[in-house]
Chains A and B, each alone.
Chain A
Amino acid sequence: MSELKTLSWQGLWKNNPALVQLLGLCPLLAVTGSFINGLGLGLATTAVLIGSNTTVSLVRNLVPNEVRIPIFVMVIAAFVTVIQLLMNAYTYNLYLALGIFIPLIVTNCAIIGRAEAYASKNPVGHAAFDGLMMGIGFTLVLVTLGALREILGNGTLFSGAETLFGDWALSLKLTLFVTEHKFLLAILPPGAFIGMGLLIALKNYLDKRFEQLHKQPAKVVQRARVTAESQ
């Protein structure tokens, strides 16, 4: 149980793939123009992570050490192809919106990193759970950044929800404000970099505050004065 707890804490916060390991930044910065795009790519990445971690863990004792990386990549590529075909079939508009970044999940370092660092050394259950938690951690960052950029740039939230959830989700779209001059920087790539930097700063700040709150008071040693008090 404690292993699962550690895995969750690592994936969601302490070793978050996006905020701490800074892996998979290319899709992170490129598709987070809106909440739904971020969520779509996050879910796809999570699915691939769970699948690849499980498979790599299953075959970990059969794979010769020398050729493990190509085999991991092929496993990941197979899962990405499956996800891509599924999205093409069921969420076609989202598939068009995400474009090249779905096949590019193959090259997401967070996935091969987890396969190499964790799944290839641990039993199936734990590996799958690790994939799930890392995926959720990654998705949360994508969604936060996507929401921030969508609100600042467009004044809307959840626009395009119908591309992921179907037509009933059209009513989910919130319009927070309407403006003649949109804040284009938030939607353009520089906005992603600045937003990402601010999110990382916020995480580090929270960590520091948490540390300060829970710091053990240092042991104070009373110094025995052996000389006379100076006047």
Chain B
Amino acid sequence: MSLRLASSPHQHQQRSTAQLMRLVCYCALPGFALQCWFFGWGSLIQFAIAAVFALGIEAAILEIRKKDFERALADGSALLTALLLAICIPPLTPWWITAIGAFFAIGISKQLYGGLGFNLFNPAMVAYVTLLVSFPVAMTSWMPPVALAEQGYDFFDALRVIFTGFTADGYSLSQLRMGADGFTMATPLDSVKTDIGLGLTLQEATSKVQFADGFGIGWLWINLAYLTGGLLLLKLRAIKWQIPVSMLGAILLVGGVIHLASPDLFTSPWFHLLSGGTMLGAFFIATDPVSASTTDKGRLIFGAGIGVLVIVIRTWGGYPDAIAFAVVLMNMTVPLIDYYTRPRTYGYQSRGKKR
């Protein structure tokens, strides 16, 4: 038996920041690819725009702050922020709205707070909330699934709509959003919320053609893809299990209780879990190592808080989806959560317990 001697530190960081960020990007790719498959090329172009502006703004601000920007750009955190932003915004949003989003993500909510590791809020979600509050019409103009659209569009059409507002054939964004039956389509969450607000029952609200598979065409598969990517992240120990599990558990519990109380008014918890940005939020957004809680117990509270807020805002709030608002609101509580869930230091008794 041989004893290997090693000097401290005995606990090694498994991955560098850049490796971790790249890993998260790779795990988000299946979901992102499916999103492009179901809703067209727009998201890919949005990613390119967001990445260019995010990297450019980060480099410019670091240059002003006289920091080494090459090292900061190489860590991939700005790229991950750009990817998350591109996933969240509607595929054919005008390019300058994406650029403003990148500015708020990197410039305001990351660099003004001191750069990577100092930001209080999740940059991509701050950018999304800013855009949603600023441009409510543009930010809720989600495309119908390609299979249901009256007017298909290819890569170059998407490029032209994003930069000029019209396709080569002269179709505007609102015409492209038209479904095969002549109605513009909202996202499943939005559509159900509006219909229930109009006094329809849940069954009537989900009888439209876009609910053919029960969850809204495309959204089920996208969420399952993000779930797969997230499970891979868990397996590779890039994230901890507490936040996703407590967040999804809270959604299931609260959503289930209100659904059982009034099945005609409140959608089933499975719909909440598998529509909108739930899986993306649970595995890729809420688990941001900088702005989430840093203790194990704290992570459970943080995730559960997001889950409850998601249901509350989706059901009774003014906006159809709520991941961004819930994450940003819970980010504010993180210092408090961390303060009250400090783990016991090894060798000390926890307070109140006598030896």
A binds B: yes
**B-binding residues in A (CB < 8 A):** 181-186, 188, 190, 194
The one of B94, B100, B108, B137 that contacts A183, using a Cβ cutoff of 8 Å = B100
With a cutoff of 8 Å between Cβ atoms, the chain B residues found around residue A181 in the complex are 94, 97, 135, 137-138
Q: In the complex the two chains form, is A194's CB within 8 Å of B136's CB?
A: no
Among B97, B130, B134, max chain A CB count under 10 A is at: B134
Among A185, A186, A190, max chain B CB count under 10 A is at: A185
Secondary structure of the B side of the interface?
helix
Whether B290 is near chain A, meaning CB under 8 Å from some CB there, is: no
Task: With both chains docked as a complex, state the minimum distance between the C-beta of A195 and any C-beta of chain B, in angstroms.
Answer: 12
Give the interface residue-count category, chain B: 10 to 19
Known: A181-B138, A184-B135, A194-B108. 18 other contacts (CB 8 A): A181-B94, A181-B97, A181-B135, A181-B137, A182-B134, A182-B135, A183-B100, A183-B134, A183-B135, A184-B133, A184-B134, A184-B136, A185-B130, A185-B133, A185-B134, A186-B134, A188-B133, A190-B133
- B75-99 residues with Cβ-Cβ distance < 8 A to A are 94, 97
For the complex of A and B, list the 9 residue pairs with the smallest distance between their C-beta atoms, beginning with the closest: A185-B134, A184-B134, A181-B135, A181-B138, A183-B134, A185-B133, A185-B130, A184-B133, A181-B137
- Chain B: CB-nearest residue to A188: B133
With a cutoff of 8 Å between Cβ atoms, the chain B residues found around residue A183 in the complex are 100, 134-135
Task: List 12 A-B residue pairs with CB atoms under 8 Å apart, sorted by A's residue number.
Answer: A181-B94, A181-B138, A182-B135, A183-B100, A183-B134, A184-B133, A184-B134, A184-B135, A185-B134, A186-B134, A190-B133, A194-B108
Task: With both chains docked as a complex, state the minimum distance between the C-beta of A169 and any C-beta of chain B, in angstroms.
Answer: 29
Q: Mark B139-180, 1 if CB is under 8 A from A, else 0.
A: 000000000000000000000000000000000000000000
A186 to B138, alpha carbons, bound, how many Å? 16
A184 to B100, alpha carbons, bound, how many Å? 12
Task: With both chains docked as a complex, state the minimum distance between the C-beta of B172 and any C-beta of chain A, in angstroms.
Answer: 10
A194 to B97, alpha carbons, bound, how many Å? 18
Q: Mark B98-138, 1 if CB is under 8 A from A, else 0.
A: 00100000001000000000000000000000100111111
A181 to B100, alpha carbons, bound, how many Å? 12
Task: With both chains docked as a complex, state the minimum distance between the C-beta of A57 and any C-beta of chain B, in angstroms.
Answer: 42
Secondary structure of the A side of the interface?
helix
Task: With both chains docked as a complex, state the minimum distance between the C-beta of A148 and any C-beta of chain B, in angstroms.
Answer: 15
A188 to B136, alpha carbons, bound, how many Å? 13
Task: With both chains docked as a complex, state the minimum distance between the C-beta of A160 and any C-beta of chain B, in angstroms.
Answer: 22
Task: With both chains docked as a complex, state the minimum distance between the C-beta of B162 and any C-beta of chain A, in angstroms.
Answer: 13
- Chain B: CB-nearest residue to A194: B108
With a cutoff of 8 Å between Cβ atoms, the chain B residues found around residue A188 in the complex are 133
- Chain B: CB-nearest residue to A190: B133
A190 to B328, alpha carbons, bound, how many Å? 15
With a cutoff of 8 Å between Cβ atoms, the chain B residues found around residue A190 in the complex are 133
A186 to B133, alpha carbons, bound, how many Å? 10
With a cutoff of 8 Å between Cβ atoms, the chain B residues found around residue A194 in the complex are 108
A182 to B94, alpha carbons, bound, how many Å? 12
With a cutoff of 8 Å between Cβ atoms, the chain A residues found around residue B137 in the complex are 181
Task: With both chains docked as a complex, state the minimum distance between the C-beta of B296 and any C-beta of chain A, in angstroms.
Answer: 34
Task: With both chains docked as a complex, state the minimum distance between the C-beta of B175 and any C-beta of chain A, in angstroms.
Answer: 15
With a cutoff of 8 Å between Cβ atoms, the chain A residues found around residue B94 in the complex are 181
- Chain A: CB-nearest residue to B93: A181
With a cutoff of 8 Å between Cβ atoms, the chain B residues found around residue A185 in the complex are 130, 133-134
A186 to B134, alpha carbons, bound, how many Å? 8
A181 to B131, alpha carbons, bound, how many Å? 11
A181 to B136, alpha carbons, bound, how many Å? 9
- Chain A: CB-nearest residue to B94: A181
A123 to B240, alpha carbons, bound, how many Å? 69
A194 to B130, alpha carbons, bound, how many Å? 12
With a cutoff of 8 Å between Cβ atoms, the chain B residues found around residue A186 in the complex are 134
A186 to B97, alpha carbons, bound, how many Å? 14
Task: With both chains docked as a complex, state the minimum distance between the C-beta of B315 and any C-beta of chain A, in angstroms.
Answer: 25
A188 to B135, alpha carbons, bound, how many Å? 12
- Chain B: CB-nearest residue to A183: B134
With a cutoff of 8 Å between Cβ atoms, the chain A residues found around residue B134 in the complex are 182-186
Task: With both chains docked as a complex, state the minimum distance between the C-beta of A181 and any C-beta of chain B, in angstroms.
Answer: 5
Task: With both chains docked as a complex, state the minimum distance between the C-beta of B223 and any C-beta of chain A, in angstroms.
Answer: 29
- Chain B: CB-nearest residue to A153: B134
Task: With both chains docked as a complex, state the minimum distance between the C-beta of B91 and any C-beta of chain A, in angstroms.
Answer: 16
With a cutoff of 8 Å between Cβ atoms, the chain A residues found around residue B133 in the complex are 184-185, 188, 190
A184 to B132, alpha carbons, bound, how many Å? 10
Task: With both chains docked as a complex, state the minimum distance between the C-beta of B89 and any C-beta of chain A, in angstroms.
Answer: 13
Task: With both chains docked as a complex, state the minimum distance between the C-beta of B306 and any C-beta of chain A, in angstroms.
Answer: 22
- Chain A: CB-nearest residue to B100: A183
With a cutoff of 8 Å between Cβ atoms, the chain A residues found around residue B138 in the complex are 181
With a cutoff of 8 Å between Cβ atoms, the chain A residues found around residue B97 in the complex are 181
With a cutoff of 8 Å between Cβ atoms, the chain A residues found around residue B135 in the complex are 181-184
- Chain A: CB-nearest residue to B131: A185
Task: With both chains docked as a complex, state the minimum distance between the C-beta of A178 and any C-beta of chain B, in angstroms.
Answer: 13
Task: With both chains docked as a complex, state the minimum distance between the C-beta of A75 and any C-beta of chain B, in angstroms.
Answer: 42
Among A181, A184, A186, A188, max chain B CB count under 10 A is at: A181
A183 to B108, alpha carbons, bound, how many Å? 16
